[in-house]
């Protein structure tokens, strides 16, 4: 199948090819949905918010300047922020998100090359992190999700969130510090650390 | 349980930056040297790295349904800007815009280039000397005299017209380019 760059697809959409927009949706829906679901901790609401964000992106597509992906992620992040602001909803947890069904491959949780015990521990750590993220302030959670889950650089995070790099760094630092406190409180982190240390020695 | 009290905010900032590879090589070397002698610092770094690794390898969750959007719904979402770039507006407005701005530019350009007509008012003092026009002569102003002729305002109008013309030509060119790209 012929693969087009995002910018080419955008040009097709602007020229009247509506189907090309759904190609963009297919390409970016996973990233957009994952940001929403980690921010909102509600799978159905996250799908609705992500889809609304895509519609908003389509509506404003003629005003797009620059690259599509950061622009789209900015719209998605804004939509999540709006939902959190309007509903004052805190992610309450979401062990459901990590359910062991065919669609959410549980085996991706951990690298089993370190042995089943390490894999189990990592899986437990990931579940605890998913819960602990809900206890972090929205602005810090957004930054740590973009950085440590989605793997964006400081500059990309600044583009998506509309804040400067210095603020990105300080929010990320506070988020990591808070997350570490929560994981220490759950007494999981020292156990994983000790296990890793013993495995290494 | 609280974080280790021996760890300052600055330490934590440095560990976080080290994790992201955002620390200068000199600072990174210094911090690594400190970590060899400071167990609390080393533990904190290991915990941060483990947490980041666990987050990086979190599963990518699949949306519960496809987020593809019905074309009809997309069509309804179109705003004013869409109306200006898609048919029939996308065909009509650029043509109309080019025509109107061209007229605007030509009209003001023609006025700007008209020679400035100077009138001597009959009966008015024309020089410091005592030359006075005969008072019985009536004042005649040429009916075709344009008060804007040759003035900066006319030039400003002409330049503005040219700017709008350039903008509309560029706009229509972009629409044509998109259509050509889509056909390819």
Q: Tens digits of per-residue pLDDT, B75-122?
A: 888 877 777 776 666 667 777 777 888 887 788 888 777 776 555 555
Which of B3, B7, B55 is the best residue to mutate to test the A interface, defined by the most A CB atoms within 10 Å of its own CB? B55
Cα gap A137→A144, rounded to integer Å: 11
Question: Is the Cβ–Cβ distance between A16 and A42 less than 8 Å?
Answer: no
Determine whether the interchain pair A148/B43 forms a contact, defined as Cβ–Cβ distance below 8 Å.
no
Cα gap B104→B98, rounded to integer Å: 10
The whole-angstrom distance between A62's CA and the closest CA on chain B is 6
Directed axis angle between helix A165-185 and helix A154-161, to 10°? Answer: 100
Among candidates B138, B59, B182, B94, which has minimal Cα distance to A23? B182
Determine whether the interchain pair B64/A44 forms a contact, defined as Cβ–Cβ distance below 8 Å.
yes
Among candidates A47, A54, A196 on the partner chain, residue whose Cβ is nearest the Cβ of B50: A196
DSSP per residue, A167-195: HHHHHHHHHHHHHHHHHHHTT-HHHHHHH
Question: Is the Cβ–Cβ distance between A178 and A134 less than 8 Å?
Answer: no
Cα torsion angle, A126, A132, A134, A139, sign: negative
Cα gap A153→B112, rounded to integer Å: 55
Please state the separation of Cα B83 from the chain's center in Å.
20
Determine whether the interchain pair B51/A59 forms a contact, defined as Cβ–Cβ distance below 8 Å.
no
Distances (CA, A) of A111 to A193, B52, B57: 16, 14, 8
Question: Is the Cβ–Cβ distance between A92 and A41 less than 8 Å?
Answer: yes
Question: Is the Cβ–Cβ distance between B19 and B46 less than 8 Å?
Answer: no
| Whole-structure pTM value | 0.69
For chain B, which residues make up each domain, given as ranges? 9-56, 79-115+147-184
Cβ contacts of B16 on chain A, cutoff 8 Å: 169, 172-173, 176-177
Determine whether the interchain pair A172/B16 forms a contact, defined as Cβ–Cβ distance below 8 Å.
yes
Question: Is the Cβ–Cβ distance between A173 and A167 less than 8 Å?
Answer: no
Cβ contacts of B12 on chain A, cutoff 8 Å: 173, 176-177
Question: Is the Cβ–Cβ distance between B74 and B111 less than 8 Å?
Answer: no
**For residues B102-134, b (16+ Cβ closer than 10 Å) or e, as one string?**
bebbeebbebbeeeeeeeeeeeeeeeeeeeeee
Cβ contacts of B73 on chain A, cutoff 8 Å: 55
DSSP per residue, A117-136: HHHHHHHHHHHHHHHHGGGS
Domains and CATH numbers, chain A: 6-87 (1.10.1740.10), 100-200 (1.10.10.10)
Q: What is the pLDDT of residues A114-172, one digit of tens each?
A: 677 778 888 888 889 998 998 999 999 999 999 999 999 999 999 999 999 999 999 99
Q: What is the mean pLDDT of chain A?
A: 83
Cα gap B61→A34, rounded to integer Å: 6
Q: What is the pLDDT of residues B110-167, one digit of tens each?
A: 877 777 655 555 555 544 544 455 555 555 555 566 777 778 888 888 888 888 888 8
Res A152: pLDDT: 93
């Amino acid at each position: 199948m012929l693969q087009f760059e995002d910018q080419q697809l955008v040009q097709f959409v602007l020229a009247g090819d509506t189907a090309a927009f759904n190609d963009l949706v297919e390409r970016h829906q996973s990233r957009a949905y994952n940001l929403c679901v980690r921010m909102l901790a509600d799978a159905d609401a996250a799908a609705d918010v992500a889809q609304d964000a895509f519609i908003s992106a389509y509506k404003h597509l003629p005003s797009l300047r620059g690259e599509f992906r950061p622009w789209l992620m900015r719209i998605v992040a804004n939509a999540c922020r709006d939902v959190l602001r309007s509903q004052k909803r805190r992610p309450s947890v979401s062990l459901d998100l990590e359910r062991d069904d065919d669609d959410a491959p549980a085996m991706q949780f951990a690298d089993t090359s370190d042995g089943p015990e390490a894999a189990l521990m990592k899986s437990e750590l990931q579940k605890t992190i998913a819960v602990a993220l809900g206890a972090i302030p929205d602005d810090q959670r957004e930054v740590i999700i973009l950085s440590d889950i989605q793997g964006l650089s400081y500059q990309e995070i600044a583009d998506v969130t509309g804040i400067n790099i210095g603020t990105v760094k300080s929010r990320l630092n506070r988020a990591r510090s808070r997350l570490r406190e929560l994981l220490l409180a759950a007494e999981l982190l020292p156990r994983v650390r000790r296990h890793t240390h013993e495995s290494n020695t | 349980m609280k974080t280790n009290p021996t760890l300052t905010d600055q330490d934590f900032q440095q560990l976080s930056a080290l994790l992201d590879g955002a620390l200068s090589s000199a600072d990174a070397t210094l911090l690594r040297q400190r970590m060899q002698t400071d167990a609390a610092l080393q533990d904190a770094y290991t915990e941060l790295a483990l947490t980041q690794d666990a987050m990086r390898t979190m599963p990518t969750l699949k949306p519960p349904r496809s987020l593809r959007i019905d074309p009809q719904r997309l069509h309804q979402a179109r705003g004013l800007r869409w109306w200006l770039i898609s048919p029939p507006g996308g065909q009509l407005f650029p043509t109309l815009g080019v025509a109107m701005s061209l007229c605007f530019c030509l009209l003001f350009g023609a006025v700007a280039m008209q020679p400035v007509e100077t009138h001597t008012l009959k009966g008015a003092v024309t020089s410091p000397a005592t030359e006075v026009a005969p008072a019985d002569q009536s004042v005649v102003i040429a009916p075709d005299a344009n008060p804007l002729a040759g003035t900066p305002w006319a030039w400003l109008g002409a330049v503005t017209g040219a700017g709008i013309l350039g903008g509309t030509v560029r706009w229509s060119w972009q629409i044509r380019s998109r259509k050509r790209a889509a056909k390819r």
